[in-house]
Amino acid sequence: MKITELLGEATEYDKKQAIETKKPKSWLKTVSAFANGSGGILVFGIADNDDIIGLADIKSASEFVSQKIKERIEPLPEIFMELHKLDGDKDILTVKVMEGEETPYYYKGDGTMEAFVRIGNETVTANAA
């Protein structure tokens, strides 16, 4: 399976090479933005140049992502997480974030609550949009 097949016709997607456990805001703000917009897919294990890197421990990675979304995004958006095996042995994680019905969806952490939106392929704070 190729990454292009996986993403299908999704125009809203963001890829991350790894799950940044020390800086989860780097990808949680994208979850907020997708929920505040028309939804989207966050893909972990893919480099910026579309090389499939994979995740070392897909089970703990998916548990971490799920836990952080529950802790840091308010209200909780509807998400679907899937594990995929690409190139025969590389595990990647996709997080499909549905368009939210209870907007705005906030990232809460670091003593702040911020809402994010997507403009093109960038995630920005909602008040900057």
Interior/surface letters 90-117, b for 16+ CB within 10 angstroms, e for the rest: bbbbbbbbeebeebbbbbebeeeebbbb
pLDDT digits (tens, 9 = 90+) for 81-125: 999 998 789 999 999 999 999 999 999 998 899 999 988 888 889
Give the chain's mean pLDDT: 89
> Residue range 29-57: average pLDDT?
92
- Residue 52: give the domain boundaries: 3-128
CATH code at position 46 = 3.30.950.30
pLDDT score recorded for residue 49: 83
Name the band, by pLDDT with cuts 50, 70 and 90, for residue 9.
Answer: very low
Judge whether 25 and 110 are in contact, CB under 8 Å: yes
Number of domains in the chain: 1
Give the pLDDT band of residue 54 (cuts 50, 70, 90): very high
pLDDT at residue 61 tops 60 = yes
Asked whether the predicted pLDDT for residue 11 surpasses 60, the reply is: no
pTM: 0.90
Give the model's pLDDT for residue 50: 82
CA dist 124 and 80 (Å) reads: 23
